Amino acid sequence: MPIEFGTDGWRAIISDEFTFENLRHVAQAIAEAFGPGKSVAVGFDTRFLSDRYAIEVSRVLAANGIQVYLTKADAPTPALSFAVTHLKADGGVMITASHNPPRYNGVKVKGPNGEANKEIAKRVEAIVHENISKGRKPNLMDYEEALSKGIITRFDPMTSYAEHVKGLVDLPLIARSGLKVVVDSMYGSGRGYIKSLLEGAGLSSVKEIRGEMNPGFGGIHPEPIARYLRALMDEVTAGGWDVGLANDGDADRIGAVDEEGNFVDPHRIFALILRHLVEKRGWSGAVVKTVSTTMAINKLAYRYGLPLYETPVGFNYIADFMLKEDVLIGGEESGGISIKGHIPEGDGILTGLLLLEVMAEKGLSLKALVEDLMRDVGPFFYARRDIRLSPPYSKKAVLAALKKLLPSRLAGVEVTEVNDKDGVKYILGEEGWLLIRPSGTEPVLRVYAEAVSPSLVNDLLREGEEIGQKAYGESRR
């Protein structure tokens, strides 16, 4: 298969498509996209061979006359993205497959503001294809030589990132609250960050689980959703903790667990933080959400008189607005959220800390906060299912087939509007919505639903899966 950049870079199965040879081609294209004389920060996560892949990328960049700042150890994507701005680099490269299964690895390319930059990604993809088709070989410099000449410099991104985050979160307030917090790093590169920040502020009851290096992620997907957070749920309930926070494999996503072990999804976290920023901090600005994100955000934005923008799935689309507009907060259902004053990048570390600030300021448990939110802008219930696709398949063909399947009713409710901004979204007035779209990072068709009752969500998902399977079948004819 050709090397393709999706919603968040290039991802592929290790030793299948994700090989050292292909990685060198991608690194060469990145070098050509930025040009000689530029500087690039390079980081990596805890996946199998990620450290070796990062060195290989650095060798190619160095051979092309690019100054490389390479992290000393695995680091979260938000810290790498912030390092781009702190070091005044021209861009960044992160070796990670984020929340994907352990057999994957990938490359995220960052622009000068630490953002996922669509234009750079398109340019890199085009250069890769041209170089391979013309038989051009990547340039490669000896690692030790590059180090000795100072072309590659190793650095620790944590110190500057932590200082920046301290200016965005009221850590002393959290410390005074005495909250008892469990952090589940899911064996990812966010390990140690939240715990260190909280303990440094004086919070005494902080425990981290799954914080060791484990390239196989303990046999789970490093995605902070309910099905992979049983260990966190059990720890919170068994230990009498107040809250559990979970980050994905590179810590750009957030999930949470309340004191009773109930999963609290990013929709609710996004809404709680938005309400807090406006009502308690007095902040204002535009709100940006993806098509797969809760209607509660719309209700809050309208209430506060804030501009609301809806984008396709992928934080790169949110980043575009954060770079051009006065954005208060931007987020997506997968757990990537960022706020004004921060990098235009989803940050599960910052978001987790902001959620603790909301709890500390309100003096309420997370369960009570969610119940209050539901009374305020609910009820709303959400779920997602994935349909595994067998390659080869065509995203364009699947989308084309989906757009021909336009039911007038779903689960007995009238479809009042159809949105094809990303996949096909069927809107059911105030009752809810159903979204079907091909993933930009995995060979799956995602089916999302939100509605005013759990039973309606399940009915919508069931019908959505039927529509998705039919579209997939039609696309293969």
DSSP string, 383-448: EEEEEE-PSS--HHHHHHHHHH---SEETTEE--EEE-SSSEEEE-TTSEEEEEEE-SSSSEEEEE
Q: What is the pLDDT of residue 421?
A: 94
DSSP 452: S
What is the CATH topology of the domain spanning 381-475? TATA-Binding Protein (3.30.310)
- Domain 167-377 CATH class label: alpha beta
Q: What is the pLDDT of residue 1?
A: 64
Express each pLDDT in 269-295 by its tens digit. Answer: 999 999 999 999 999 999 999 999 999
- Identical fold for domains 10-157 and 167-377, yes or no, is yes
348-362 and 77-86 helices cross at what angle (nearest 10)? 100
Other CB atoms closer than 10 Å to residue 40's CB: what's the count? 26
Q: What is the pLDDT of residue 240?
A: 97
How far is the C-alpha of 191 from the C-alpha of 244, rounded, in Å?
A: 14
How far is the C-alpha of 207 from the C-alpha of 460, rounded, in Å?
A: 39
Q: What is the pLDDT of residue 477?
A: 76
Matching residue, tokens 């966190």: 232
Q: What is the pairing mode between strands 432-438 and 424-427?
A: antiparallel
Query: By C-alpha distance, which of 446, 420, 417, 444 is closest to 430?
Result: 417
How far is the C-alpha of 197 from the C-alpha of 181, rounded, in Å?
A: 12
Q: What is the pLDDT of residue 390?
A: 85
How far is the C-alpha of 401 from the C-alpha of 412, rounded, in Å?
A: 23
Query: By C-alpha distance, which of 378, 380, 386 is closest to 448?
Result: 386
Domain ranges of the chain: 10-157, 167-377, 381-475
How far is the C-alpha of 198 from the C-alpha of 172, rounded, in Å?
A: 9
Express each pLDDT in 202-211 by its tens digit. Answer: 999 999 999 9
The dihedral region occupied by 302, where left means phi > 0, alpha psi between -120 and 50, and beta the remainder, is: alpha
Q: What is the pLDDT of residue 7?
A: 67
Per-residue model confidence as pLDDT tens for the chain (477 residues): 679 887 678 999 999 999 999 999 999 999 999 999 999 999 999 999 999 999 999 999 999 999 999 999 999 999 999 999 999 999 999 999 999 999 999 999 999 999 998 899 999 999 999 999 999 999 999 999 999 999 999 999 999 999 999 999 999 999 999 999 999 999 999 999 999 999 999 999 999 999 999 999 999 999 999 999 999 999 999 999 999 999 999 999 999 999 999 999 999 999 999 999 999 999 999 999 999 999 999 999 999 999 999 999 999 999 999 999 999 999 999 999 999 999 999 999 999 999 999 999 999 999 999 999 999 999 999 999 999 988 778 888 999 999 999 999 999 999 999 999 999 999 999 999 999 999 877 889 999 999 999 999 999 999 999 999 999 988 887
10-157 placed in CATH 3.40.50.1820: no
In Å, how far from its chain's centre is CA 144? 34
Tokens coding 473: 């079948």
**Residues in contact with 29: Cβ distance below 8 Å, sequence separation at least 6, in sequence order:** 123, 124, 125, 127, 128, 131
Query: By C-alpha distance, which of 3, 10, 6, 79 is closest to 45?
Result: 79
